[in-house]
Chain A
């Protein structure tokens, strides 16, 4: 397989995640879309590492390891925020959470 196959799959995953993040009303599903976009970027890093000129430097792999660590932190804080918002509004539907101070 050439590099473009992986890049196309990654672009497709990114587009699916973006479409989900834009269209879903449930805050948790929006977070799922964001996670999918992050993973699409990770797939790009690994594909470029494998097909790049200097795979013995492991740059792409190390970048993805840090990216996974940061994505885990983001998911934990994001879900905690959703739980805090739910406790306040009793809903996670983004079209009903529309006031800043209430």
Chain B
């Protein structure tokens, strides 16, 4: 259990760091897929199987591929030509945010909490909660949101052809 955690943690954080530090955006997108896979492994480790597989389907299967397509469509894959100075300000802000979070987590009363008992979320129970319980309205709204986002994305990205002259 411990070894699995450390392997997953190292892999996820390294892939996330690589995803934002490579110069070639295609390499970044592939490292992002690796980081998503590491997060899915975390979810499986924590016992949330449905979310783990949903993560693989949605993030690796759709979002990462969408990003690769956007890179291909925008010629963003051209590597930055001019070398830039190391961005100290942004890295310093990120480091300060992490130190603040880490301090808050370390001093929290919940820090050393262990899981109370083993719970196996059965997909059937999850489905009952979502489709019969109090989450039904939220589910409908999420469906509406996804439809609107789909139509909106298509409209925004639609190529505007010049009008023909004949």
Asked whether B1 is an interface residue with its Cβ less than 8 Å from the other chain, the reply is yes
Instruction: Check A46–B42 contact: CB distance below 8 A.
Output: yes
Known: A77-B149, A79-B66. A4 touches B48 (CB 8 A): no
Instruction: Note all chain A residues with C-beta closer than 8 A to B63.
Output: 35, 71-72, 75
Instruction: Check A9–B9 contact: CB distance below 8 A.
Output: yes
Interface string of B14-51 (1 = CB under 8 A from A): 00110111000100110010011001001100111011
Min C-beta distance of B122 to chain A, whole Å: 10
Which residues of chain B in 30-78 are interfacial with respect to chain A, using CB atoms and an 8 Å cutoff?
32, 35-36, 39, 42-43, 46-48, 50-51, 54-55, 58-59, 62-63, 66-67, 69-71, 73-76
Which residues of chain A in 72-91 are interfacial with respect to chain B, using CB atoms and an 8 Å cutoff?
72-77, 79-84, 86-87
Instruction: Check B145–A70 contact: CB distance below 8 A.
Output: yes
Min C-beta distance of B83 to chain A, whole Å: 12
Chain A, interface size: which category? Answer: 35 or more
Asked whether A101 is an interface residue with its Cβ less than 8 Å from the other chain, the reply is no
Instruction: Note all chain B residues with C-beta closer than 8 A to A20.
Output: 19-21
Which has the most chain A C-beta neighbours within 10 Å: B55, B94, B108, B111?
Answer: B94
Interface string of A33-71 (1 = CB under 8 A from B): 101100100110011011111011010111011101111
Min C-beta distance of B162 to chain A, whole Å: 13
Min C-beta distance of A23 to chain B, whole Å: 4
Known: A15-B97, A32-B29. A72 touches B58 (CB 8 A): yes
Interface string of A1-33 (1 = CB under 8 A from B): 111111111011111111110111111110111
Instruction: Note all chain A residues with C-beta closer than 8 A to B47.
Output: 50
Instruction: Note all chain A residues with C-beta closer than 8 A to B50.
Output: 61, 65
> Which residue of chain B has the shortest Cβ distance to A85 in the bound complex?
B74
Instruction: Note all chain B residues with C-beta closer than 8 A to A18.
Output: 93-94, 97
Instruction: Check B113–A84 contact: CB distance below 8 A.
Output: no
State which of A1, A70, A76 has its C-beta within 8 Å of the C-beta of B142.
A70
Known: A25-B80, A73-B149, A75-B67. A3 touches B111 (CB 8 A): yes
Instruction: Check A65–B94 contact: CB distance below 8 A.
Output: no
Instruction: Note all chain A residues with C-beta closer than 8 A to B89.
Output: 22
Instruction: Check B95–A92 contact: CB distance below 8 A.
Output: no
Instruction: Note all chain B residues with C-beta closer than 8 A to A51.
Output: 110, 113-116
Instruction: Note all chain A residues with C-beta closer than 8 A to B87.
Output: 22-23
A1, B17: Cα distance in complex, Å: 23
Instruction: Check A23–B39 contact: CB distance below 8 A.
Output: no
A73, B69: Cα distance in complex, Å: 16
State which of A15, A36, A87 has its C-beta within 8 Å of the C-beta of B101.
A15
